[in-house]
Amino acid sequence: MSTNYYTDCHSGHYTLINPGKYLPDLPPPVFKSSWEEKICIACDVNDFITRWGYEPFEISYYSPLYMKQSIYIPDVYVECRYANGVEQRYLLEIKPVAYSVLPKEPKAPGPNVKDTRRWDNYRKKKAAFDRKTMDVMVNYAKWEAAEQWCKAHNINWLILNEKNMHGLFDSKTVI
- What pLDDT, in 10s, does the model give residues 107-144? 998 888 888 899 999 999 999 999 999 999 999 999 99
Q: How confident is the model at residue 53 (pLDDT cuts 50, 70, 90)?
A: very high
Average pLDDT over residues 77-85: 93
Distance from C-alpha of 161 to C-alpha of 57, rounded to nearest angstrom: 21
The answer to whether residues 138 and 130 touch, using CB atoms and an 8 Å cutoff, is no
**Which DSSP category does 175 fall into?**
-
Q: For 62-78, write each residue's pLDDT tens digit.
A: 999 999 999 999 999 99
Q: Is the pLDDT of residue 28 over 90?
A: yes
Q: What is the pLDDT of residue 3?
A: 42
Strand 156-160 with 87-94, pairing = parallel
Q: For 36-51, write each residue's pLDDT tens digit.
A: 998 999 999 999 999 9
Q: What is the pLDDT of residue 33?
A: 87
